[in-house]
Every structure is written in structure tokens, then in C-alpha cells.
A and B are shown apart, each in its own frame.
Chain A
């Protein structure tokens, strides 16, 4: 890894962040330790000095300057505290009494904590003492300085600081590998997800994100990515199927169209023959367009793009309209079209697509049921669903072919009648759009003199169960609309 990339990487930043947080919190803890140890020693010394200074001030006020000189001389000879330092000076800061020889500072500097150094020679050894002291003015007579040699507290300070410094070094030494370990752990999972998506990009479309057992944020991320990937794969498969099927289904009619034109052009020009060829070509083109439109309608319903135009509505008036549209045609073919429309309920639906669904079912039935047969349309509903049934006494669909019948272009047998497969696949697509369950079963209905077909099926029953999602308000709106 190049340095510039290292600094930009999440690994580096995460490690740094972790270490920084670790070190800062330890630093804060150490500051607290420092204050409580060193600070406590200092404040003890300070209050001792203050008390002594105050009592000397009292002595001066009661007994006068000469007595104070005497007291200080005594104390300097035999101090209560071996570290004590005293100095009494006149107004010109000339020393009068005490155990240091001259005023250690420029000016009196009274009323605040002072720090200075003094030299002493004891037994031939030259020593530097660090003194902390406080000064008070004594009326016009001069100034009194009381201090302490603070070598002890400085030593404690040194010991504590060194201990803390070592501890800090140790903390960084522990925090850095900790940070590395933690960011590795987090980033390895991110890296695994990234690696999987790379593999998917490179064509392994069925690969999925690793999902652990903990159900943590990473697992949930992986899970939702997997759901997305499933959906994409499903759509892509669907798309490929459409493209293949469109190519397959349009190639036939387009080839016929082309060869008819070629044939006509090869023959000698003849107005009558040319015209009839043109009529045939036009009919063929219309078939291509009808197929194309049906395909688009299926694709549109399947894509779910029409969800926006869904509204609460009643199925019954839609079915009634469609039945009414097909009644004359059924009658002409000698079919009994019976509708038993029971309790209805409001569902959420796309009015036009539902109409098209019912029309397609009736269209198929009218087309395939032999003369003298019957078609039964029924609606029944309860609180949970509205069920639409269209049953006929036609040839039916063998159980093995039912799944295929609902697929796009799944055309049963080698039927010459165009559009059968697309009719049912549109029904399937619209059903999916409405979250409705779709079932193909035997209807058990037979026409006059008709026996169950060789495959053992008799008639076809298409059952659609629409979930009742709509509220009472939706139902009221739907009945108003259908009433108007």
C-alpha cells in the first residue's frame, strides 16, 4: 500500500481515531491523578505558610517590630519546620532578621505566591534551595517574608510525572495495536462485502453477501443487499426472457411479412394481385402490432409502474361490464354465460387493467369453449379477500402445462389461434400487480355430449383471490364512484 493511500484509507483513520480516543481518555485520568497527589502536597505546604505568616503578623501588631525581630531570630536558630525560611526587611528591603541574607526579589511583591532560589553552604557543600514564599507589608516598618523549601514536593512531583509519562507511553503502546485490531475487525467485514460485489460485477451474479449469525448492523446491511440482488437478478432474468420471447415471437410474423413482399415483387406486376398481397401484408402487420401491444401491456403490468394509478374500487361492476360486453358474442356462439355475483368488497386496483383481465378471461373462454358449452363467472368475498372465478367447459389446461400457460408466450399445445398465451400471461401479470393469488384448476364443467379430454382435464377454472386491503372509507368512496 502506497503511503498516500495508507493515509486516506479508512483503516488508517479508524486506527488513528481509536488510538487518539484511548490516549486522550488516559491523559485525562492522569491529569486527575497528578492534581490529587502533587496538588494536595502543595496546598498543605501553602496553608502551613499562611498560618505562620498570620501568627507572625499578629505578633507584630501586638508586640511591635523589635519583638518580631527577636522571634524571628529565635525561629531561625531553631525552626519549627526545618524547611522554613524567614526574612524581615525594612521599608528599603534591607534585611533586619531571618535565615536568608538578602531580599531575594526585586520589589516587595506582597500578597502573591512567589518562587525563587537561594544558595546555602552547609559543611562545605553548596546547595541550591527552591523556595516558595508569601510576603506581607508591616505598616510602614517593612515587609515580612515567610517561605518553605519545597524540595520534597518537587521530588514527589518528579516521581509522579515520570510514572505517569511511562504509563502514557505504555498506553500508546497498547492503544495502537488495539486500534489496529479493532479497525481490522470492522474493515474486514466491509472488505468482504466489497469483494463480493466485485465478484458480482465481474459476472458471478448468483453470489450473495456473507451474513453472520449475530444479526448486527453488518448482517442487516448484507441481508438488504441480498434482497436487492435477488430482485435485480429476477428482473434481469425476466428481461432476458422478454427479449428472447419477443425475438422469437416477432421473428415468425416478420419473416412471413418479408417473404410475402418479396414474393409479390418477384411476380410480374399485376394490380389485382398486388392489391390483395398488400391487404394480406397489412393484416400481418396488424398481427405484429397486436402482439407487440400485448407484450408491452404485460411488461407494463409486470413492472409495477401502474401501481400509482391504483384506487379503492369494487370488482363487481367491472365484472358486470365485461360480462355484458361478451354476452352477445357468447350467445351467438351458443354458449351459456352465467354470472353469479355475490358479496363484493372493496379492493385496491387499477380499473383499466382489471377490466382487461376480466375481458381477457372471457375472451379466452368464448374463443375456446365449443358450441353449446358454458361459462360461469362468480364473485364472492369475505373480510380478507375477494375471489373472482371464471370457469368454462372448454378443453381445459393439463395440470403439467398450467405453470407454462401463465408465463409470457406460454401457448398451450400448438394452437393456431393467436394471442392465447399472451391473454393468460397478462392475467398473471395483472394478478401479480394486485398481489392476487392465481390458480388454474379443472372446472368440472362439461358441454353437451362432451367427455373429459384425453389428458383427463375437463374445463378450466381460473381463480383469482384479491386481498382486501381497503378501509371502510375506501369502500364508501368506491361505491360512490361505481354508483355515479
Chain B
């Protein structure tokens, strides 16, 4: 996948490029807002990673210009401005995700993967399926190998989020944002308990576990190891 990084700090940029290249992506880099905007409009990218405070044009303006030009490339904003109100501002400007600095690289790659695969998945579908686990989005029911699984509403939303990102690493922060709409991290890893409860319900008694813990990053739902 082709990714454009617009970031004025060279050290951050080279760290980003190295990490993303290791993940198998082709990475272009612009250290200036104006050049970055030009590159984003003139070439095709699968994802833009944009810093907020940039020389030339700032990150939010880049997002606004691209969106008003009808360019729908997924955009991830990286910024030292990490408060709730800043994030909301970034997302309403048209960005798809917002990651405050400093961030763990695992968090970044998880979000990049989520954005890159989001494209083709239509949100109007009525059911989700991973291996023999099926989720009926209309009836709000879950079955594994034809056996009904009893889920509480929040557990259903948690599972739905994991299934929509099947095969990808999903971080705790992503779950807090996506499932609980909490744009802050509680001090205790409160998510772990929810995951282990969900695991009890969907994996217990089945030969192959679907919900895996990714050390130092988060969780992933996939059919095989």
C-alpha cells in the first residue's frame, strides 16, 4: 500500500517511514504542508498520515482542502494536541482517525491497518462472519458453529468491532474509542476483563480459539494462528 507521510520533524518522519516500510508499505514523505498537499492531490495514495502543526499549510487545513476537493483517501492525523476537544476538531475536519503524540508504534500500525482495510467494507451489511462465528447485525444475535451465544449489548458491540477489524490488531485505546466512545485511557486496563469475558463466551468449548492477545499491542480476532 502507498502511504504519504506529511511530517516536519525529520526524526519522527524517518522513524515512521522505517516502521511502515517494515510493515510492507511504500512510503513517501513531505516535510512541508504545501508540498504535502500538492503530492496528496496529484498522486494516488492509499493513506495519508498528517501532522497537525506544519510549516506552510497546517494539517487541519490540508484535511479540509482534500475533503472539499472530493478526495476520499483515508487520513490519520498525528498530533501533539491530544485533548478530547482537539481530537473532535480533527475528526470533524474530515480526518478518519486521530492519534495523539506520543504514541506506541503498535498503536499506530494497528490504526494504519484498520484504515487501509476499511475501504471496501460496506457498512450496510447485515451480518459478519469469521470462520464459524457469525454475527446477525439486524437480529443482534451471535452464533458459533450454529450454537447461539448469549451476549450483553456492550459485548455485542465489542464483538462487532473486533469482527469488522478481523485479522487486524486492535488496541485497547481503539476499543475504548470505538466501543465505549471514551477518548481517554482509564488508569487500569479495564478492557482486558471485558475481552476475557467475551473470550469465555465465544471460544470456550471450541477447538480453535478466535480471539487472540497480541503482546504489547492489543487483540486480534482471526480464524488461525
A309 with B88: CB separation less than 8 A: yes
Most buried by A among B182, B184, B187: B187
Most buried by B among A290, A309, A326, A328: A328
Q: Which residues of A contact B190 (CB under 8 A)?
A: 325-326, 328-329, 363
Chain A residues 291-313 with CB under 8 Å of chain B are 293, 296-297, 300, 305-306, 308-309
Q: Which residues of A contact B83 (CB under 8 A)?
A: 296-297, 300, 306
B183 with A352: CB separation less than 8 A: yes
Query: Is residue B193 within 8 Å, beta carbon to beta carbon, of the partner chain?
Result: yes
Query: Is residue A141 within 8 Å, beta carbon to beta carbon, of the partner chain?
Result: no
Report the nearest B residue to A418, measured CB to CB: B187
Q: Which residues of A contact B194 (CB under 8 A)?
A: 325, 328
Query: Is residue A289 within 8 Å, beta carbon to beta carbon, of the partner chain?
Result: yes
Report the nearest A residue to B179, measured CB to CB: A325
Instruction: Take A306-B85, A309-B85, A324-B154 as given contacts and tell me if A329 and B180 are in contact as well, using a CB distance cutoff of 8 Å.
Output: no
Query: Is residue B186 within 8 Å, beta carbon to beta carbon, of the partner chain?
Result: yes
- Name A325's contact: one of B82, B84, B104, B180 (CB within 8 Å): B180
Query: Is residue A425 within 8 Å, beta carbon to beta carbon, of the partner chain?
Result: no
Q: Which residues of A contact B104 (CB under 8 A)?
A: 286
| Distance of A367 Cα from B186 Cα, bound (Å) | 12
Chain B residues 87-144 with CB under 8 Å of chain A are 88, 102, 104
Query: Is residue B147 within 8 Å, beta carbon to beta carbon, of the partner chain?
Result: no
| Distance of A355 Cα from B184 Cα, bound (Å) | 9
SS class of chain A's interface: helix, strand, loop or mixed? helix
Q: Which residues of A contact B182 (CB under 8 A)?
A: 325, 352, 355-356, 359
A352 with B188: CB separation less than 8 A: no
A363 with B186: CB separation less than 8 A: yes
| Distance of A290 Cα from B187 Cα, bound (Å) | 8
Query: Is residue B197 within 8 Å, beta carbon to beta carbon, of the partner chain?
Result: yes
Q: Which residues of B contact A286 (CB under 8 A)?
A: 104
Chain B residues 169-220 with CB under 8 Å of chain A are 180, 182-188, 190, 193-194, 197
Most buried by A among B83, B182, B185: B83
Report the nearest B residue to A422, measured CB to CB: B187
Query: Is residue A366 within 8 Å, beta carbon to beta carbon, of the partner chain?
Result: yes
Q: Which residues of A contact B185 (CB under 8 A)?
A: 290, 293
Q: Which residues of B contact A300 (CB under 8 A)?
A: 83
Most buried by B among A286, A297, A309, A325: A325
Minimum CB–CB distance from A143 to chain B (whole Å) comes to 95
| Distance of A366 Cα from B104 Cα, bound (Å) | 27
Q: Which residues of A contact B187 (CB under 8 A)?
A: 290, 360, 363, 367, 418-419, 423
| Distance of A418 Cα from B188 Cα, bound (Å) | 11
Report the nearest B residue to A350, measured CB to CB: B84
- Name B193's contact: one of A321, A329, A360, A423 (CB within 8 Å): A329
Query: Is residue A213 within 8 Å, beta carbon to beta carbon, of the partner chain?
Result: no
Q: Which residues of A contact B183 (CB under 8 A)?
A: 352
Q: Which residues of A contact B184 (CB under 8 A)?
A: 297, 352, 355-356, 359
B186 with A359: CB separation less than 8 A: yes
Query: Is residue A272 within 8 Å, beta carbon to beta carbon, of the partner chain?
Result: no
Query: Is residue A270 within 8 Å, beta carbon to beta carbon, of the partner chain?
Result: no
Report the nearest B residue to A292, measured CB to CB: B102
Minimum CB–CB distance from A335 to chain B (whole Å) comes to 12
Minimum CB–CB distance from B224 to chain A (whole Å) comes to 28
Q: Which residues of B contact A325 (CB under 8 A)?
A: 180, 182, 186, 190, 194
Report the nearest B residue to A364, measured CB to CB: B187
Q: Which residues of B contact A328 (CB under 8 A)?
A: 190, 193-194, 197
Q: Which residues of B contact A326 (CB under 8 A)?
A: 190
Report the nearest A residue to B195, measured CB to CB: A328
B interface footprint on A342-379 (CB within 8 Å = 1, 0 otherwise):
00000000001101100110010011000000000000
Report the nearest A residue to B103, measured CB to CB: A289
| Distance of A366 Cα from B193 Cα, bound (Å) | 13
A352 with B84: CB separation less than 8 A: yes
Minimum CB–CB distance from A325 to chain B (whole Å) comes to 6
Q: Which residues of B contact A308 (CB under 8 A)?
A: 85
Minimum CB–CB distance from A300 to chain B (whole Å) comes to 5
> Could you write out 21 A-B pairs with CB less than 8 Å apart?
A286-B104, A296-B82, A305-B85, A306-B84, A306-B85, A308-B85, A309-B84, A325-B180, A325-B190, A325-B194, A326-B190, A328-B194, A329-B188, A352-B184, A353-B84, A356-B182, A359-B182, A359-B186, A363-B186, A367-B187, A367-B188
Q: Contact residues of A with B, CB < 8 Å?
A: 286, 289-290, 293, 296-297, 300, 305-306, 308-309, 321, 324-326, 328-329, 332, 352-353, 355-356, 359-360, 363, 366-367, 418-419, 423
Could you list 7 further interchain pairs (A-B, Cβ under 8 angstroms) beyond the known A325-B190, A352-B84, A356-B182? A293-B185, A297-B184, A308-B85, A309-B88, A329-B190, A352-B182, A367-B188
